[in-house]
Chains A and B, each alone.
Chain A
Amino acid sequence: MLQKTSDNICQIVSEGCCVELGNEVILDDVSFSIKKGTLVGVVGPNGGGKTTLFNTLLGLVSITHGSIKIKGLDPKQTSGMIGYVPQKEELNWNFPVTAKEVVQMGITNNNSLRPIPSKKDHQIIEESLSKVDLLDRINDRVENMSGGQRQRVFLARTLAQGAEILLLDEAFSGVDIGSQEKLLDVLKKLKNDGNTVLMATHDLNTIGERFDEVLCLNRHCCAFGDPKQVLTKDVLVELYGSHSSMFENHTLGNHGHNDGI
């Protein structure tokens, strides 16, 4: 299942990655490799390690054993190379920021000493919002936007940042089907532009239909590869345990039928 590929082709290579938080092993011997320009869905139960994997890729959590290399570098050395689309709950919505202000954060660094964006900054902000089809909402407050539009604004921020690798944590949470489709269209476009996208989600149907690869995480890597091949009943049982029966009728090619897998 795991295809080992050399670092110069793969943008992200995890080999036997273990992460311990306190006395708990959150990620145990997780291995996978992701090529540039791939759309990867990360699935698994709550507490299965999706967010911890993202935090590890972002360099916020230390690896206990094994390694993760991003473009050949340790995650702690890749500051700013990875774009992160946060969960809604991680943000302080007391600050009434506009789409423009959020995207501007992507071009803010430790030495940005101009409170007002320059002409070049404006251009980057407009180009980034244009790529996610939200240029017409540039001056709108993000809090007033729909869940899907918010996600796209944060995607635009990662583009302004110049990140090639994009991580989206629970991007479909609170997002209606129509907005999910719009978001997926944007992700596909970004993928075709050469971006590598990892998205944590609970939507297995969408994974099967729209993603190139799926990483199944339940503290360990249950499976990694083409979703049409790896999302089997055994993998679902390994992922979700006894609750996996609820997926039996909803796996690929068995929408609502009782004739099993």
Chain B
Amino acid sequence: MGTMMGFEYIYEPFSYAFMIRSLIVAVSVGLMLPLLGSYVINRNLGFMGDAIAHASLPALVFGLLIGVNILIAAIPAAIFLALLLGYLINKSNIGEDTAIGIIFSSFFALGFILLSIFKNIAFNVEDLLFGQILGVSSFDVSITLILTTIVIITSFILYKQFLFISFDPKGAKVAGIKVNLFNNIFLVLLSLSIIAALQSVGIILVLSMLITPAAAAKLLIKSFPSSIITASIFGIIASLSGLYFSYYLDFPSGPSMALTATLIFIIVWIIKKTFLYKLT
């Protein structure tokens, strides 16, 4: 590595198959989390995203126990969680944050109890919490690509409905839009994207990739469709940086991505403060 010059640092890692796999996962995660994050920050659903990530821990442990790929174990669990949270928010009168908080903490606690009971699980818990993008398998890549395709295509074709129910839920209901159905579809997409990101960003920091690139884009761009695209570009930059930091410095990928996303946010904030206007 010491003899490398300039651009070699950028492309040299991709002479390894595992780095190609990691690259695909990084770009997928960087693309889809901020895409949904643009809705999440404007609908104040950040806590919900964090809850889905944390509450998936028991499913991940269960997957490890029975020896299936953790993504396979987590996907049905995340869909269940999304629908459960959606139901509780609609039907319960205990308040949105309270309902999410109860699910979040109890499922996360259950996950750790399971981990303490089954100490023989051959898995590094730190990787689960903080991400280890270099460890993804070909199967992980396939699942991530499928999830990314589902998330992007669904968000694209249901853009009008998602925008309507986000901006004016009552008006949407009055106009005959099935608000609960589209809300549930959105929550399921959110869960799927979070699950796809768990291996690279980790449970603890998945929120950073969900909201920070979207928040930076919102500072810079006013138009909602343009801010979605900008958020995804920022997300890809942040996730690729996580890949390089992991490769060259052996940093956990989650914190690397989170800090790069924050750095992007700070740079954008300074640019905005300096020029004092918003691009359109």
Binding site for B on A (CB under 8 A): 58-60, 79-80, 82, 84, 86, 90-92, 94-97, 101-102, 104-106, 108-110, 112-115, 141, 154, 157, 161
Find out whether the CB atom of B175 lies under 8 angstroms from the CB atom of A105: yes
Find out whether the CB atom of B163 lies under 8 angstroms from the CB atom of A95: yes
Contact mask for chain B residues 219-256; partner A; CB cutoff 8 A; 1 contact, 0 none: 00011100000000000000000000000000000000
Contact mask for chain B residues 147-181; partner A; CB cutoff 8 A; 1 contact, 0 none: 00000000011111101101111111111111001
Find out whether the CB atom of B172 lies under 8 angstroms from the CB atom of A82: no
Decide if B43 is an interface residue (CB 8 Å cutoff).
yes
Decide if B105 is an interface residue (CB 8 Å cutoff).
no
Decide if B138 is an interface residue (CB 8 Å cutoff).
no
Q: How many Å lie between the Cα of A105 and that of B181 in the bound state? A: 17
Closest A residue, CB atoms, query B182: A110
Find out whether the CB atom of B175 lies under 8 angstroms from the CB atom of A97: no
A sample of 10 more A-B contacts (CB under 8 A), given A84-B175, A91-B167, A108-B160, is A60-B170, A80-B175, A84-B174, A86-B170, A90-B168, A92-B169, A96-B222, A102-B167, A104-B160, A110-B177
Q: How many Å lie between the Cα of A91 and that of B172 in the bound state? A: 11
Q: How many Å lie between the Cα of A154 and that of B168 in the bound state? A: 11
Closest A residue, CB atoms, query B155: A115
Q: How many Å lie between the Cα of A58 and that of B172 in the bound state? A: 12
In the bound complex, residues from chain B placing their C-beta under 8 Å from that of A102 are 167
Q: Contacts A115-B156, A115-B157 known; A108 to B222 CB distance under 8 Å?
A: no
Contact mask for chain B residues 34-60; partner A; CB cutoff 8 A; 1 contact, 0 none: 000000011100000000000000000
Find out whether the CB atom of B171 lies under 8 angstroms from the CB atom of A105: yes
Jot down 27 A-B pairs with beta carbons below 8 A, ordered by A. A59-B174, A60-B170, A79-B175, A84-B171, A84-B174, A86-B168, A86-B170, A90-B168, A91-B171, A92-B43, A94-B43, A95-B167, A95-B224, A96-B224, A97-B163, A97-B224, A101-B163, A105-B164, A105-B167, A106-B175, A108-B161, A108-B175, A109-B176, A110-B178, A113-B157, A114-B157, A141-B222
Find out whether the CB atom of B163 lies under 8 angstroms from the CB atom of A86: no
Closest B residue, CB atoms, query A92: B167
Find out whether the CB atom of A94 lies under 8 angstroms from the CB atom of B42: yes
Task: Find A80's partner among B42, B43, B176 (CB 8 Å cutoff).
Answer: B176
In the bound complex, residues from chain B placing their C-beta under 8 Å from that of A82 are 174
Of residues B41, B169, B171, B174, which shows the largest number of chain A Cβ atoms within 10 Å of its Cβ?
Answer: B174
Find out whether the CB atom of A79 lies under 8 angstroms from the CB atom of B176: yes
Closest B residue, CB atoms, query A110: B178
Closest A residue, CB atoms, query B221: A96
In the bound complex, residues from chain B placing their C-beta under 8 Å from that of A97 are 163, 167, 224
Find out whether the CB atom of A108 lies under 8 angstroms from the CB atom of B167: no
Find out whether the CB atom of A84 lies under 8 angstroms from the CB atom of B224: no
Find out whether the CB atom of B170 lies under 8 angstroms from the CB atom of A110: no
Q: How many Å lie between the Cα of A44 and that of B197 in the bound state? A: 54
Closest A residue, CB atoms, query B173: A60
Q: How many Å lie between the Cα of A79 and that of B171 in the bound state? A: 11
In the bound complex, residues from chain B placing their C-beta under 8 Å from that of A110 are 161, 176-178, 181
Least CB distance, A35 to chain B, in whole angstroms:
22
Of residues B159, B167, B175, B224, which shows the largest number of chain A Cβ atoms within 10 Å of its Cβ?
Answer: B175
Least CB distance, B168 to chain A, in whole angstroms:
5
Q: How many Å lie between the Cα of A108 and that of B174 in the bound state? A: 12
Closest B residue, CB atoms, query A79: B176
Q: In chain B between 192 and 215, which residues have their CB closer than 8 angstroms to a CB of chain A?
A: none
Q: How many Å lie between the Cα of A132 and that of B104 in the bound state? A: 48
Q: How many Å lie between the Cα of A113 and that of B176 in the bound state? A: 16
Least CB distance, A182 to chain B, in whole angstroms:
22
Q: How many Å lie between the Cα of A253 and that of B169 in the bound state? A: 43
Closest B residue, CB atoms, query A81: B176
Q: In chain B between 123 and 163, which residues have their CB closer than 8 angstroms to a CB of chain A?
A: 156-161, 163
Q: How many Å lie between the Cα of A96 and that of B220 in the bound state? A: 13
Task: Find B160's partner among A58, A86, A105 (CB 8 Å cutoff).
Answer: A105
Q: Contacts A96-B222, A101-B163, A115-B156 known; A90 to B170 CB distance under 8 Å?
A: yes
Least CB distance, A18 to chain B, in whole angstroms:
22
Closest B residue, CB atoms, query A116: B159
Find out whether the CB atom of B172 lies under 8 angstroms from the CB atom of A105: yes
Q: In chain B between 89 and 130, which residues have their CB closer than 8 angstroms to a CB of chain A?
A: none
Interchain residue pairs A-B with the least CB separation, the first 10: A115-B159, A80-B176, A94-B42, A79-B176, A113-B157, A95-B167, A108-B160, A84-B174, A105-B164, A58-B174
Of residues B42, B157, B160, which shows the largest number of chain A Cβ atoms within 10 Å of its Cβ?
Answer: B160
Q: Contacts A80-B176, A86-B168 known; A95 to B42 CB distance under 8 Å?
A: yes
Find out whether the CB atom of A84 lies under 8 angstroms from the CB atom of B161: no
In the bound complex, residues from chain A placing their C-beta under 8 Å from that of B42 are 92, 94-95
Find out whether the CB atom of A108 lies under 8 angstroms from the CB atom of B177: yes
Least CB distance, B69 to chain A, in whole angstroms:
32
Task: Find A95's partner among B157, B158, B166 (CB 8 Å cutoff).
Answer: B166
